[in-house]
Amino acid sequence: MIIGRGEKIFLWITYVALTIFGLSILYPFINIIAISLNDGIDALRGGIYLWPRRFSIEAYQQVFSRRGLLNAAWISVARTAVGTLTGLAFTAVLAYLLSFRDLVFRRGIIFLFVFTMYFSGGMIPDFILIRQLGLMNSFGVYIVPALLGVWNVMIMRQFFEELPQSLKDSARVDGANEFTVLIKIVLPISTPVLATIALFIAVWQWNAWYDTFIYTSGSALSTLQNELVRILREQQALIMAAAGGDTRDLAERAQRVTPQTIQMATIVITTIPIVLIYPFLQKYFVKGIMVGAVKE
């Protein structure tokens, strides 16, 4: 196929524009890494862009030297794995049921679900509910409240509705019940939406820390994100104490790292696992998320 001069120019312009756009997305993360690897006091001067001006790993040393960080990382991995699997299972079952257009009170049920997306009871009713369910200071507080997400259910329901009805009917004619149809027919051909919803749930579970702060006490169930938030707050308190001239030791410790470098280091630590997982799900992501744009 012969490409004309005009088309070649258009392609080159497109490539250049996409390259600039890609670099503009990549630059903020590179800048965060550069600041996290820079000396804290020097970073306050600004002017750090693509690489550290005064290389230092003090911020990472302070983060990884915290007692209990390894256990917190294990809790975060466990809640992400268990929460993603259970959330995906409950979401798939409910979405499959709501995909039946002849389901009794279907529109009313969907309305009640969508209503919760715009209105909620608030923090106090949530806290009372969690306490009455006996989930306080238990691993279940990370799993049970996150079993269903209305937005995830709506996306998966729309995807299930677009699947060929003949596949389901043929399986029913052969004697399969609805659970068998879901497991052996629907889910195997729903990889795009399953991967998309799994990514949504996993990212939320991995980044969550406020539920740890509210519903648990002590370090046994503390997550990695909660510990990183604590480190950042402690460093800010240390800076304030050093500014008040409490002791020379506090001032020396405060000069090695700053809340800015600690914050950048925590961003890098929490982002890397998601960055490593995302490429494996990227090919399914666009197709899975686009079904949410289809109106019923």
Residue range 147-200, pLDDT digits in tens: 988 999 998 998 888 888 888 888 888 888 888 888 888 888 888 889 889 988
Q: What is the pTM of this model?
A: 0.78
- Rounded CA-CA distance 258/93 in Å is 48
CB-based burial of residue 82 (10 Å sphere; 0-12 exposed, 13-18 middle, 19+ buried)? middle
**Domains of the chain, first to last:** 60-293 (1.10.3720.10)
Are the beta carbons of 86 and 143 closer than 8 angstroms? yes
Helix (H) or strand (E) holding 77: helix 69-98
pLDDT (tens, 9 = 90+) of the chain, 296 residues, equals 566 777 888 889 999 999 999 888 889 889 999 998 988 788 878 888 888 888 888 888 888 887 888 888 899 999 999 999 999 999 999 999 998 888 888 889 889 888 988 888 788 888 999 999 988 989 999 999 999 889 999 989 988 888 888 888 888 888 888 888 888 888 888 888 898 899 889 989 998 888 888 898 776 888 888 888 888 787 777 667 656 555 555 555 555 677 788 888 888 888 888 888 877 776 666 555 555 444 44
